[in-house]
Amino acid sequence: MSLLEKLDKSNIPQHVAIIMDGNGRWAKKNNKARVFGHKNGVKSVREVTEGAAQAGVKYLTLYAFSTENWNRPKAEVAALMQLLVTTIAKETKTLNKNNIKLQAIGDLKNLPGNCYSELNKAIDSTSTNDGMTLVLALSYSSKWEILDAVNRLLNDVKASDNKEIKVDEAMFNRYLCTANIPDPELLIRTSGEYRISNFLLWQLAYSELYFTPILWPDFTRENLWEAIADYQSRERRFGKTSEQLSS
Ligand code: FPP
């Protein structure tokens, strides 16, 4: 029986978020330039997207480029942006064939023009698909997202007649980039680093965290299913006791 068949289909995380890390180290191990690692990382993106859809995951969010990544050497940033443009253009057909909807979160206006327009083209083209949603976090950081939400909320309050607004969780959620996306039940980070790196800080409040030493270009769909199997072995208590959960 394959690992996929062994998964409990009634307990598949609805939303899996991944910090794809280790492309640079993978390239170094292979005596190649960092960009070679990113190119091979795209293979894992394809692998894991298919594997997530096969498992019945509804939302897959990939941290593809952080706000902080803009500080990398110019040539690496340019290569990553070009890789995004070509990958998105090339993969739109496959996304449609597999009924996958593409979404993006982040400060998208900061992306180079061709990247922004290719991304929007793919988002439009896949907008009526209702299988899995693939969310790319691009020029994204959680602190940026939270501050952006607070500022837009303040502007709305200023413009409104009602100045007595009390912000609750549901209202704040509506101002985040992830407004229509459920919180991830599972976060995976590859490459043996134990950090969240400014990713979905609000949304990860109760997520299960899974860290693996595998470098991103080596990460396969089977590795994703292993992470889901590990998730299924955990007891999610949300602050309650074990006894409360079983009664
Ligand atoms: C982290 O590895 C990876 C990135 C910053 C970029 C991820 C991008 C891709 C996998 C390719 C494009 C993605 C899509 C969705 C088309 P790192 O460079 O930080 O590795 P290191 O920590 O070993 O240096």
- Coil, strand or helix at 98: coil
Classify burial at 162, counting beta carbons within 10 Å of its beta carbon; exposed 0-12, middle 13-18, buried 19 or more: exposed
Is the residue at 244 inside a domain?
no
Is the residue at 163 inside a domain?
no
pLDDT of 8 higher than 90: yes
Is the residue at 218 inside a domain?
yes
Q: Which atom of ligand 1 is nearest to the CA of 215?
A: 23
Q: Provide the mean pLDDT of the chain.
A: 96
* Residue pLDDT, tens place only, 100-128: 999 999 999 999 999 999 999 999 999 99
Per the structure, the complete domain to which residue 19 belongs is given by 11-141+184-232
Are 23 and 38 in contact, with CB atoms under 8 Å apart?
yes
CA of 37 to the centre of ligand 1 (A): 8
CA of 88 to the centre of ligand 1 (A): 15
Mean pLDDT of 17-25: 98
Are 103 and 132 in contact, with CB atoms under 8 Å apart?
no
* Residue pLDDT, tens place only, 31-80: 999 999 999 999 999 999 999 999 999 999 999 999 999 999 999 999 99
Candidate from 19, 28, 38 with most ligand 1 atoms within 8 A of CB, to mutate: 38
Is the residue at 237 inside a domain?
no
Beta bridge partners of 186: 16, 208
Task: Answer whether 64 contacts ligand 1 (Cβ < 6 A).
Answer: yes
Percent of the chain predicted with pLDDT > 70: 100
| Tally of domains within the chain | 1
E runs forming strands in 159-225: 186-189, 208-211
CATH number at residue 52: 3.40.1180.10
Is the residue at 161 inside a domain?
no
Which residues, at least 6 apart from 97, have a Cβ–Cβ distance to it below 8 Å? none
Catalytic residue flag (residue 69):
yes
CA of 19 to the centre of ligand 1 (A): 9
Is the residue at 208 inside a domain?
yes
Is the residue at 210 inside a domain?
yes
Say what the pTM is.
0.96
Q: For atom 6 of ligand 1, which residue has the closest CA? A: 64
Label residue 236 by pLDDT band (50, 70, 90).
confident
Candidate from 23, 85, 87, 218 with most ligand 1 atoms within 8 A of CB, to mutate: 23
Percent of the chain predicted with pLDDT > 90: 92
Is the residue at 151 inside a domain?
no
| Options 23, 40, 69, 230, the catalytic residue | 69
pLDDT of 247 higher than 90: no
Structure token pair of residue 28: 């170094």
CA of 152 to the centre of ligand 1 (A): 30
